[in-house]
């Protein structure tokens, strides 16, 4: 179903275990008011040719690019996402050596039926926000920042031994309990699998 809205843009800090790099997520924090979110994906592809045809075709997630349009990026969020620092006078300083730590990104999109589709991207590393400025003319034009990040799979495997990069759910799916979406922003969603099922 088509989406007609976007809101509740959050980030959650990541702490990595020193030896494994496995992620532990901190409490989600509101990033900014969302204007747009564009996610594009790059796949690693390979084809095995045999008997004059494609015998095996593999397509796996390689990485993604997330571009967020937001109303404003405050000093605290900019420092966390990009590695910029605030000096003694409260001025945000960006340096060429800056590099923010990866974070998890969560948001939701309103569907045409009034229900929501929820997302968590498990590991996103952002660059410096872009700024668009323009002089005021005959009409009012809003200039808002955008920030671009690289989406990658997380290091910590899920219950199936795989490395997820995204969680996505529709609140109106019949097999989704209401608590899944009502608790979406209390913590980063952790995949649950029944390991007792026999194959």
What's the confidence (pLDDT) of residue 143? 53
> Region 88-101: what's the mean pLDDT?
76
State the pTM of this model: 0.79
| CB of 12 closer than 8 Å to CB of 27 | yes
Cα(127)–Cα(148) distance, integer angstroms: 6
- H or E element, residue 134: none
Structure-token pair, residue 8: 């509740």
How many Cα atoms are found within 13 Å in the side-chain-facing hemisphere of 150?
11
For the chain, give the percent of residues with pLDDT over 70.
Answer: 85
Containing structural domain, residue 145: 7-182
pLDDT at 183: 92
Query: In this structure, is residue 19 part of a structural domain?
Result: yes
* Higher per-residue confidence, 10 vs 99: 10
Q: Per-residue pLDDT tens for 113-164? A: 888 999 999 999 887 766 655 556 665 555 566 788 889 999 999 988 999 9
Tokens read off for 44: 């690693």
Report the SS3 class of residue 78.
helix
195 lies in some domain: no
Domain membership of residue 112 (yes or no) is yes
Asked if residue 197 has pLDDT above 70, the reply is: no
Mean local confidence (pLDDT), 61-78: 79
How big is the chain, counted in residues? 199
Residue 188 lies in a domain: no
- For residue 190, name the pLDDT band (cuts at 50, 70, 90): very high
CB atoms within 10 A of CB 146: 16
According to DSSP, the β-strands at 92-93 and 85-86 are antiparallel
Is residue 73 a contact partner of residue 147, using CB atoms and an 8 Å limit?
Answer: yes
Q: Please, are residues 164 and 4 in contact by the beta-carbon 8 Å criterion?
A: no
Is 141 a member of any domain? yes
Q: What is the mean pLDDT of the chain?
A: 82
Total domains, the chain: 1
pLDDT at 122: 95
Domain annotation covers residue 175: yes
Instruction: Tell me whether residue 110 is in a domain.
Output: yes
In a domain, 121, yes or no: yes
Which of the two residues, 94 and 193, has the higher pLDDT score? Answer: 193
């Amino acid at each position: 179903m088509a989406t007609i809205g976007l809101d509740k843009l959050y980030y959650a800090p990541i702490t990595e275990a020193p030896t494994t790099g496995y992620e532990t997520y901190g409490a989600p924090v509101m990033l900014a008011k969302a204007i747009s979110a564009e996610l594009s994906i790059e796949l690693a592809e390979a084809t095995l040719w045999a008997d004059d045809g494609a015998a095996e075709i593999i397509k796996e997630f390689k990485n993604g690019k997330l571009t967020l349009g937001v109303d404003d990026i405050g000093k605290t969020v900019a420092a966390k996402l990009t590695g910029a620092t605030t000096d003694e006078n409260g001025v945000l300083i960006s340096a060429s050596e800056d590099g923010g730590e990866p974070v998890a990104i969560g948001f939701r999109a309103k569907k045409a039926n009034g229900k929501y589709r929820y997302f968590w991207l498990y590991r996103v590393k952002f660059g410096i926000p872009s700024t668009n400025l323009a002089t005021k003319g005959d009409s009012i034009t809003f200039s808002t920042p955008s920030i671009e990040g690289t989406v990658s799979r997380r290091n910590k495997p899920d219950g199936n031994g795989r490395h997820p990069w995204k969680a996505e759910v529709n609140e109106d799916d019949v097999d989704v309990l209401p608590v899944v979406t009502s608790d979406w922003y209390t913590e980063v969603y952790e995949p649950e699998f029944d390991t007792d099922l026999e194959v």
